[in-house]
A = this chain, B = another copy of it.
């Protein structure tokens, strides 16, 4: 909303909040007025926490996950299997897999997917570092946990081709119907794959 008799401090605050993805001008104004209604210390904590976060967070030098120190908590943990590496696109995928609570290996965060249309080539991702890790850390298995999209498939194929020469075991996430899904509402490609890759029923 343009403000003919403008209050600069308010305009600037709205402008900054409007930079955030998905926050339009009206929402930014609502957020600014919310901050105004809060105690001064709360807003100071809000701003300083975010500044501090941006300034002090790093990427793990081994797996490129977010970290407060040079090595992330996963890579630093003595309880994680360092010979199994789960390759993901984004740090949000690390969180999603950690939330399952069943993965005990380590990660490698690519920082995106190969996407020629968006101008992202393999050299902009951490793929060459991953290939180095295979030899240096004597890895035994790469789990390609990439999205089931054309970009995810391209990236997985590219990595698998490069990694294959080292003789490492390469696996990928199982594709099939989701737990709780109705067959009726499952798309035909997923259902077809699920049928072709059927597994033995555990009796």
What's the minimum C-beta distance from A69 to chain B, rounded to whole angstroms?
10
Selected from B33, B42, B50, the residue in CB contact (under 8 A) with A47 is B50
Considering the complex, give the chain B residue whose CB is closest to the CB of A26.
Answer: B92
Contact: B43 with A9, CB < 8 Å?
A: no
A116 CB-CB contact with B under 8 Å: no
Q: Using a CB–CB distance below 8 Å, which chain A residues touch chain B?
A: 1-10, 12-13, 15-17, 19-22, 27, 29-36, 38, 40, 42-57, 66-68, 72-74, 77, 91-92, 95-96, 98-99, 101
For A44, what are the chain B residues with a Cβ–Cβ distance below 8 Å?
A: 51, 54-55
8 contacts between A and B (CB under 8 A): A3-B95, A6-B73, A9-B57, A12-B52, A21-B31, A22-B27, A29-B95, A43-B53
For A15, what are the chain B residues with a Cβ–Cβ distance below 8 Å?
A: 49
Contact: A72 with B4, CB < 8 Å?
A: no
* Copies of this chain, count: 2
Known: A9-B56, A16-B49. 9 other contacts (CB 8 A): A2-B99, A4-B99, A7-B57, A7-B67, A7-B73, A16-B46, A22-B27, A43-B55, A44-B55
Contact: A31 with B20, CB < 8 Å?
A: yes
Contact: A1 with B99, CB < 8 Å?
A: yes
A31-B20, A99-B4 are contacts. A54–B49 as well, Cβ < 8 Å?
Answer: no
Provide the bound-state CA to CA distance between A153 and B117, in Å. 57
A5-B77, A30-B21 are contacts. A12–B49 as well, Cβ < 8 Å?
Answer: yes
Provide the bound-state CA to CA distance between A40 and B57, in Å. 11
Residues of A contacting B: mostly: helix
Contact: B12 with A53, CB < 8 Å?
A: yes
For A5, what are the chain B residues with a Cβ–Cβ distance below 8 Å?
A: 72-74, 77, 98
Selected from B7, B42, B53, the residue in CB contact (under 8 A) with A9 is B53
Provide the bound-state CA to CA distance between A118 and B16, in Å. 32
For A43, what are the chain B residues with a Cβ–Cβ distance below 8 Å?
A: 50-51, 53-55
